[in-house]
């Protein structure tokens, strides 16, 4: 029963909340979608927290994504012991980096009065679930080694079954690692709280900046075609009416 | 030719008395909110001095603006690669201490203090943390500190001077300062717009005002770094950046921006310039010594039939073209060549131009007596207290010829008027000064008139906004002041 609650009900509730909440917040509460950077109030110790934290999570996120999307490729890559070691050590290092960064950020928030002024309750929740998520992930990596290999066997089928609306929880519920279970549950909890926390900022990571032209000129008139236009570049947008 | 219209500005520094009325007018309308207390969209600096935020002109620290990169320009500290690389921590971003910690006073203590032997005091408390603080700096902290070691000597523009020249500047008999009011330049090649990863910043096509879309800003903070004039400010409370909006709701209803309207010295002029957007990239990448001259070239003659035709084709209203023809800015900038951009070497093509102050003549100390007399009435511009090189570092990217030219023009106008009204200068002296810079009496009188006698409508030539063509502009801005702001459907509350 508990397994069904944690591995079937929770994921669906989390995903539904995430989808509806994020879209609503983006469309109707645009002013509240922000990374809420506090660098302006304190910039020096932020560097030692924010950089290792974000880069650590950045690589871990894509690592998990690759393991989920291309499990066979990953297993093939891991065929060599050296490659397996590289991937396991690198992942662990990124995990440590994220943990270090998180602790530095928490310390900064606790000790700096200015940063405390822009801290809200949801920030505490964010720190808590991130701490559980990172620590449980590191424990899995340490106590149940070679996760990049068994991920494909245990987690990929489970996650895939969730997304095709045919949840199969046999593998995940019988797995003999409480850390892994915590890791999965807290992962879905994070997804669930994204729309209610500063997590939203990773959804608006500005990838489109890469192909946007540098200058943007917008005309008020003829709004339908002009307002949304991204086609402007130096002097190329002219006949605007 | 791709003609666009731009609201441009001229500040006449000879008339600025440093009263900060402009700053207060702006503050009361726009930035008297939590998170915005430290923002001074309009501020007045004392030069030589370090300015606001401290040493903003030093791009070795803040990496703002563009740098020449062959035939084009690239952003100095931000951009697609550098910006996204530094998005988790922006190493060149000024922090609160580079501005100042905003504060108020515990006024209530004055009333509630128990009876005692001493007068009760109102202690300063931080507007950020609410704790009592020792006030160490504030807006305009270096006001009038023309010779001070902490401020004036830290001025970045002194770097162009030799150590001997620098020392000479701070001798007692040479000491001088002037004021430099600054607002957003609403540049033709805005670095803030180019640096914004989420595309929240944009330039309005109709009037060239540069704005930040508050709903799209994600607090990546790149505009704060990219603006070399440090006129984009991060609101620490809402987590959104804000900047000078050139009082566009006032402009749209035909009123001058608040800082312009309130200017006591009437130093400010505002009008339309037509420019050729096809030339932006080429002109932004001109060599340093040609920057001022090149920028003049981008602004088009509003009387030229070809320009009028192309402007009309681009949808610029006839009323705007007529405003451009009457523009006081066009006269100061292109016809009389009296106005210069601030730090053109940042290559953003700013649209705020300054008529430099005629420098006070140098006095000397003879036998312990401070002697200010001179042979000529106002001293020659060759005997100025501030080195011309210093002004060149401010207004012409180091080109001293440009500064001398402008100062000579200003001096000739002054001599001409002295001849007209007092008549104690010899005709030869006046005509020599006028002849040297090709100025005739009629033009000199026009310059004099626009400088000192101009009416409100001559100083601010604001084109109609044609609200009939634009529903958005019809929204009443006053209804939502302090609440949602205009264009918004929700209260500007900080996100979670």
Q: Which of B4, B190, B236 to mutate to test the interface with A (most CBs of A within 10 A)?
A: B236
Please report the ipTM that was assigned to this predicted complex.
Answer: 0.87
Distance CA B355, CA B11 (A): 6
Per domain, the residue ranges of chain A are 2-205, 207-241
Return the SS3 of A218.
strand
CB contact under 8 A, A239 and B80: no
In this complex, do B193 and A240 lie within 8 Å of one another by their Cβ atoms?
Answer: no
Residues of chain B positioned with their CB less than 8 A from the CB of A208: 199
Tell me the three state secondary structure of residue A166. coil
Which pLDDT score is estimated for B185?
Answer: 96
Cα–Cα dist B4/B195, whole Å = 22
Chain B residues near residue A239 by CB distance under 8 angstroms: 313-315
Tell me which residue of B306, B359, B284, B393 sits closest to B57, measured CA to CA: B393
Least CA distance to B4: which residue of chain A? A238
For chain A, report the end-to-end CA distance as a whole number of angstroms: 64
Confidence of residue A230 (pLDDT cuts 50, 70, 90): very low
pLDDT at B477: 56
Which residues of chain B are under the pLDDT cut of 50? none
Short-list B352, B350, B310, CA closest to B329? B352
Name every residue whose Cβ is closer than 8 Å to that of residue A188 and which is 6 or more positions away in sequence. A10, A11, A14, A15
Supply the pLDDT for residue A124: 95
Asked whether the beta carbons of residue A206 and residue B220 sit closer than 8 angstroms, the reply is: yes
Enumerate the residues of chain B whose CB falls inside 8 A of the CB of residue A28: 489-490
Please identify which residue in the block is written with the tokens 């729309």.
Answer: A195
Round to whole Å and give the CA distance between B14 and A150. Answer: 77
The CA distance from A6 to the nearest CA of chain B, in Å, is 26
> What span, in angstroms and rounded, lies between the C-alpha atoms of A157 and A172?
9
Which residue has better confidence, A172 or B302?
B302
Q: Name the architecture of domain A2-205.
A: Up-down Bundle (1.20)
Q: Do A35 and A206 meet the contact criterion of CB atoms below 8 Å apart?
A: no
Tally Cβ neighbours within 10 Å of residue B27. Answer: 21
Which residues of chain A neighbour B237 with C-beta distances below 8 Å?
A: 118
Distance from CA of A159 to the nearest CA of B (A): 29
Q: A40 and B472: CB-CB below 8 Å?
A: no
A22/B482 Cα distance (integer angstroms): 27
Q: Per CATH, is B357-456 categorized as 2.40.50.100?
A: no
* Residues near A90 by beta carbon (within 8 Å), at least 6 away in sequence: A59
Give the nearest chain B residue to A31 (CA atoms): B215
Helices and strands, counts by H and E, chain A: 11, 1
Interface touch B470/A31, C-beta < 8 Å: no
The whole-number average pLDDT for the span A69-84 is 84
User: Do residue A215 and residue B194 have CB atoms under 8 angstroms apart?
Assistant: yes
As beta bridge partners, residue B11 has B268, B354
Rg (C-alpha) for chain B, rounded Å, is 24
Q: What six digits make up the tokens of A194?
A: 């994204």
Instruction: Look at residue B480 in the predicted model and tell me its pLDDT.
Output: 53
- Closest chain B residue to A196 measured between Cα atoms? B496
pLDDT in tens, A112-170: 999 999 999 999 999 999 999 999 999 998 988 887 778 877 788 888 899 999 888 88
Asked if A221 and B206 touch (Cβ cutoff 8 Å), the reply is yes
Whether B199 sits inside 8 A of A235 (CB atoms) is no
Which of A30, A37, A197 lies closest to B215 in CB terms?
A30
Greater pLDDT, A231 or B63: B63
Closest CA–CA distance from residue A215 to any residue of chain B (Å): 5
- Partner residue facing A37 (CB), from B197, B239, B313: B239
> What residue ranges of chain B are covered by domains with CATH 1.10.3650.10?
357-456
Taking an 8 Å cut-off on Cβ atoms, the answer to whether A221 and B214 are in contact is no
Q: Which of B95, B239, B252 to mutate to test the interface with A (most CBs of A within 10 A)?
A: B239
Phi-psi region of B369 (alpha: psi -120 to 50; beta: other; left: phi over 0): beta
CA neighbor of A106 nearest in space, from A64, A135, A139, A63: A135
Q: How many residues make up chain B in this entry? A: 496
Q: Which residues contact B126 (CB under 8 A, 6 or more apart)?
A: B101, B102, B103, B132, B133
pLDDT of residue B476: 57
Nearest-CA distance A119 → chain B (Å): 9
CB contact under 8 A, A34 and B201: no
List, as own/partner pairs, every contact residues A58-66 make where C-beta atoms lie below 8 angstroms and the sequence separation is at least 24, other chains included.
A59/A90, A59/A91, A59/A94, A60/A91, A60/A94, A60/A95, A60/A98, A60/A137, A63/A87, A63/A91, A63/A94, A63/A148
The one-character DSSP state at A199 is: G
Tokens of B336: 């009389």
pLDDT (tens digit per residue) in B398-411: 999 999 999 999 99
Q: How many Cα atoms sit within 13 Å of B462 on the Cβ side? A: 20
Residue among B223, B297, B213, B282 at smallest CA distance from B62: B223
Cis upstream peptide for A236 (omega within 30°): no
- Note the pLDDT of residue A233: 37
Alpha-carbon gap, residue B56 to B229, rounded angstroms: 7
Q: A with B: how many residue pairs have Cβ under 8 Å apart? A: 181
- Taking an 8 Å cut-off on Cβ atoms, the answer to whether B203 and A217 are in contact is yes
Q: A25: Cβ–Cβ under 8 A, 6 or more apart, which residues? A: A32, A33, A195, A200
Q: What is the DSSP letter of A39?
A: T
Pick from B197, B237, B315: CB nearest A240? B315
Percent helix, percent strand, percent coil in chain A, to nearest 5: 75, 0, 25
Distance from CA of A73 to the nearest CA of B (A): 29
Interchain contact, A39 vs B95, CB within 8 Å: yes
Task: List the single residue in B197, B205, B239 with the smallest CB-CB distance to A34.
Answer: B239
Q: Please tell me the distance from the alpha carbon of residue B136 to that of residue B454, in angstroms, as a whole number.
A: 41
**Residue in B with minimal Cα distance to A115:** B129
Report the residue from A198, A214, A230 with minimal CB separation from B496: A198
């Amino acid at each position: 029963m508990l397994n069904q609650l944690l591995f079937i009900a929770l994921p669906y509730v989390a995903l539904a909340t995430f989808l509806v909440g994020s879209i609503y917040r983006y469309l109707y509460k645009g002013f509240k979608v922000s990374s809420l950077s506090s660098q302006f109030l304190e910039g020096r110790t932020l560097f030692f927290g924010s950089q290792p934290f974000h880069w650590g999570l950045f690589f871990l996120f894509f690592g998990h994504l690759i393991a989920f999307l291309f499990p066979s490729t990953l297993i093939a890559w891991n065929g060599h012991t050296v490659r397996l070691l590289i991937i396991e050590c690198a992942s662990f290092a990124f995990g440590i980096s994220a943990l270090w960064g998180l602790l530095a950020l928490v310390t900064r928030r606790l000790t700096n009065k200015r940063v405390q002024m822009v801290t809200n309750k949801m920030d505490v929740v964010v720190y808590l679930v991130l701490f559980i998520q990172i620590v449980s992930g590191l424990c899995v990596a340490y106590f149940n080694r070679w996760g990049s290999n068994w991920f494909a066997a245990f987690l990929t089928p489970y996650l895939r079954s969730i997304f095709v609306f045919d949840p199969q929880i046999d593998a995940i519920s019988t797995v003999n690692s409480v850390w892994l279970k915590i890791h999965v549950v807290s992962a879905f909890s994070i997804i669930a709280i994204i729309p209610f926390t500063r997590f939203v900022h990773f959804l608006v990571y500005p990838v489109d900046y890469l192909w946007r032209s540098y200058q943007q000129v917008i005309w008020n008139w003829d709004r339908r075609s002009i307002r949304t236009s991204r086609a402007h570049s130096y002097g190329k947008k002219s006949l605007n009416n | 030719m791709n003609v666009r219209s731009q609201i441009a500005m001229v500040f006449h520094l000879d008339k600025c008395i440093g009263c900060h009325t402009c700053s207060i007018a702006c503050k009361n309308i726009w930035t008297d909110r939590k998170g915005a207390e430290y923002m001074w969209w309009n501020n007045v600096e004392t030069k030589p001095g370090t300015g606001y935020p401290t040493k903003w002109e030093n791009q070795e620290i803040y990496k703002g603006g563009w740098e020449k990169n062959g035939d084009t320009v690239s952003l100095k500290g931000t951009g697609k690669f550098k910006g996204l690389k530094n998005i988790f921590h922006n190493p060149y971003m000024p922090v609160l201490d580079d501005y100042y910690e905003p504060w108020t006073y515990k006024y209530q203590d004055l009333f509630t203090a128990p009876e005692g032997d001493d007068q009760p005091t109102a202690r300063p408390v931080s507007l950020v943390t609410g704790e009592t603080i020792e006030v160490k700096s504030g807006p305009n902290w270096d006001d009038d500190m023309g010779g001070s070691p902490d401020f004036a000597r830290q001025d970045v523009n002194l770097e162009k001077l030799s150590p001997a020249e620098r020392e000479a500047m701070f001798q007692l008999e040479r000491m001088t300062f002037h004021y430099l009011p600054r607002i957003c330049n609403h540049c033709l090649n805005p670095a803030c717009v180019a640096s914004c990863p989420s595309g929240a910043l944009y330039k309005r096509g109709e009037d060239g005002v540069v704005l930040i879309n508050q709903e799209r800003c994600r607090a990546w903070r790149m505009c704060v770094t990219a603006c070399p004039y440090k006129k984009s400010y991060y609101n620490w409370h809402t987590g959104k950046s804000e900047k000078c909006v050139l009082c566009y709701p006032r402009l749209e209803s035909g009123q001058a921006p608040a800082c312009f309207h309130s200017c006591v010295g009437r130093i400010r002029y505002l009008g339309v310039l037509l420019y050729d957007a096809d030339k932006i990239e080429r002109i932004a990448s001109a060599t340093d010594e040609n920057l001022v001259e090149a920028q003049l070239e981008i602004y088009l003659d509003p009387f030229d039939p070809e320009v009028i035709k192309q402007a009309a084709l681009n949808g610029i209203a006839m009323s705007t073209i007529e405003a451009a023809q009457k523009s006081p800015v066009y006269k100061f900038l292109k016809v009389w060549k009296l106005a210069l951009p601030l730090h053109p070497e940042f290559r953003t093509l700013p649209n705020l131009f300054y008529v430099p102050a005629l420098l006070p003549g140098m006095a000397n100390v003879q036998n312990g007596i401070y002697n200010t007399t001179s042979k000529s009435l106002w001293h020659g511009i060759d005997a100025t207290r501030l080195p011309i090189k210093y002004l060149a570092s401010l207004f012409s990217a180091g080109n001293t010829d440009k500064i001398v030219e402008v100062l000579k023009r200003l001096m000739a106008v002054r001599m001409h008027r002295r001849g007209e009204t007092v008549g104690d200068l010899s005709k030869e002296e006046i005509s020599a000064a006028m002849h040297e810079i090709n100025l005739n009496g009629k033009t000199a009188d026009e310059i004099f008139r626009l400088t000192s006698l101009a009416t409100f409508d001559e100083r601010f030539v604001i084109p109609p906004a044609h609200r009939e063509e634009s529903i958005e502009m019809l929204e009443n801005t006053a209804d939502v002041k302090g609440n949602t702001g205009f264009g918004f459907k929700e209260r500007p509350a900080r996100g979670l």
